Amino acid sequence: MRQQIDWVGFVLNNFIWFVLLATLILFAIAIPDYFTFSNVVNILITASVLGVLVIGQSLVLIARKLDLSAEGTLSLVTVLAAYIMLPFRDFTAGQAGGNGWELNPVIVVPIILALGAFIGFINGVLIMQFKMNFFIVTLAMQLVLRGAALVISEGAIMPGTPDAFNWLGSGRLLDIIPVSVVTTLAMYLVFSYLMSSSRFGREVYAVGANEEAARAAGFNPTRTVIIVYTLSGLLAAFAGWMLLGRLTSSVPNLGAGYTLNVVAAAVIGGVSLKGGEGSIIGAFAGVLLLAMINNALNLMDVNPFWVNAVRGVIILIALIIDALKTRYKRRAPLVRPSASAPPLEPKRT
């Protein structure tokens, strides 16, 4: 028996790629200098940090949770890295140096990655072991992390991170290809394969789609979700490393408002807020679309006050598509077992 090709379903499931292509063509025609090598590289560079964060958030979303603390993790690790890496300098004109440890980047990078993973682990434990609400836990965690970043930096900008540290964010292979872009692409390939083909990926999807059934099938949702949050924290720290390397200065409020963009990119890319659905590659398309649109708005000299409004509209459109998808799927032939005995719901007493 051959499966009938479900065109509507196919288009809805891969909608993002059609949109991406259409947007690219539109911008390439409408905006001079849009489709040039240097601008495309530019788009990819700005997509990199966002992209790494989106991987982590997608894992969390597929597990039917949310991580609002990732941008806080990013903020804290950038401040901490600068603080323990830069030479001491007195606070002048809003700028300051580190605490004088002047640690080697080879030590600093593992420290911040471990810190990110640890923060994620704590999130996971609070949510699964202590049965706390993921929204509140990660929101509170975000406040804690941002607060800590402000305390450490005392609100100062810490400029001049060493080249070795900046390699990930600013380096170019063969002087052309940005390291950050290559790294991000590689991470997408790895996580995409992991989610589609590994036992861990199966668990994340199963837990996100139906936690109770996953448990009854022999999985350990508690462990799975804790790992997912740990990865999300680790990736946020990695994104922090990449971003600080690009800016070469730590700014205490770095990453403020990223969460919305990150979740938007994932959802635009087809990751469901209801868990268990979506792919890492799809999320990547969402990242590209957002980066392309941001870049176009820049090139077109759109009033920056409008940029957020446009973004908001795009996110709403993505959510509408998500809702349409759910509704379309519900219309698919479904034989409900309870049809013979629909629950009684008295409308009045």
Partner 1 sequence: MANTLISDAPVIISMRGVTKTYPGVVALADADFDVRRGEIHGLVGKNGAGKSTLMGVLMGIRQPDAGVVTVDGSEIKHLTPQLMGNLGVAYVPQHVKMLNTLTVAENVLAGNLPKNGLGIVDWRAVYQDSQDRLGKLGLNIDVRKTVEGLSLAEQTMLAIAKALFSNARMIILDEPTAVLPRKDKNLLFGFVRSLKAQDVAFVYISHHLEEIFEICDRVTIMRDGRIIETRAVAEITVPELIRGMVGETVGEFQRDPSLTNEEVLRVDTLSRRGSYEEVSFSVRRGEVVGLCGLQGSGVGELAKALFGLERRGVGEVYIDGKPLTAETPREALDQGVAYLPDDRHKLGMVGLRPLRENVTYSVLERMTRGLGIVSRGTERPLVQGYIDKLGIVTPGQEQKANLLSGGNQQKVVFARLAATQPKVLMLHEPTQGVDVRAKVDIFNIVTDLSKQGVGIVIVSSEVRELVGLCDRILVMYQGKIIAEFTRANADMKPEDILLAIEGGAYAPAN
Q: What are phi and psi of 270, to 5 degrees?
A: 100, 5
Q: Are 135 and 61 in contact (CB under 8 A)?
A: no
Give min distance, CB of 18 to partner 1, in A: 22
Under the binding rule (CB under 8 A), the answer on residue 304 touching partner 1 is: no
Under the binding rule (CB under 8 A), the answer on residue 199 touching partner 1 is: yes
Under the binding rule (CB under 8 A), the answer on residue 342 touching partner 1 is: yes
Q: Which residues contact 234 (CB under 8 A, 6 or more apart)?
A: 56, 113, 116, 117, 120
**SS3 assignment, position 272:** coil
Q: Are 236 and 50 in contact (CB under 8 A)?
A: no
| Sign of the four-CA dihedral 198, 203, 209, 210 | positive
CA distance between the termini of the chain = 51
Residues 215-234 touching partner 1, rule: CB under 8 A, are 215-220
Under the binding rule (CB under 8 A), the answer on residue 174 touching partner 1 is: no
Nearest to 47 by CA among 343, 289, 330, 316: 289
Rounded Cα gap, residues 137 and 67, in angstroms: 9
SS3 string of 273-311? CCCCCCCHHHHHHHHHHHHHHHHHHHHCCCCHHHHHHHH
Under the binding rule (CB under 8 A), the answer on residue 332 touching partner 1 is: yes
Under the binding rule (CB under 8 A), the answer on residue 340 touching partner 1 is: yes
Rounded Cα gap, residues 214 and 62, in angstroms: 14
Q: How far is CA 250 from CA 194, 235, 245, in A?
A: 33, 18, 9
Give min distance, CB of 206 to partner 1, in A: 5
Among 214, 262, 266, 283, binds partner 1 (CB under 8 A): 214
Give min distance, CB of 226 to partner 1, in A: 16
Among 245, 276, 282, 286, binds partner 1 (CB under 8 A): 276
Under the binding rule (CB under 8 A), the answer on residue 212 touching partner 1 is: yes
Under the binding rule (CB under 8 A), the answer on residue 344 touching partner 1 is: yes
Give min distance, CB of 58 to partner 1, in A: 16
Count of chain residues binding partner 1 (CB under 8 A): 42
**SS3 assignment, position 267:** helix
Among 277, 281, 284, 296, binds partner 1 (CB under 8 A): 277
Among 38, 92, 303, 338, binds partner 1 (CB under 8 A): 338
- When the beta carbons of 38 and 349 are compared against partner 1, the nearer one is 349
- When the beta carbons of 133 and 223 are compared against partner 1, the nearer one is 223
Contact string 58-97 vs partner 1 (x = CB under 8 A): ----------------------------------------
- When the beta carbons of 227 and 243 are compared against partner 1, the nearer one is 227
Instruction: Choose the stretch contacting partner 1; rule: CB under 8 A; options: 34-42, 117-125, 252-260, 330-338.
Output: 330-338
Rounded Cα gap, residues 68 and 259, in angstroms: 6
Among 148, 200, 260, 273, binds partner 1 (CB under 8 A): 200
Rounded Cα gap, residues 302 and 126, in angstroms: 43
Give min distance, CB of 195 to partner 1, in A: 12
Torsion from C-alpha of 330, 334, 339, 344, nearest 10 degrees: -10
Under the binding rule (CB under 8 A), the answer on residue 198 touching partner 1 is: yes
Among 32, 94, 304, 343, binds partner 1 (CB under 8 A): 343
Q: Which residues bind partner 1 (CB under 8 A)?
A: 1-4, 197-200, 202, 205-206, 209-210, 212-220, 276-277, 332-349
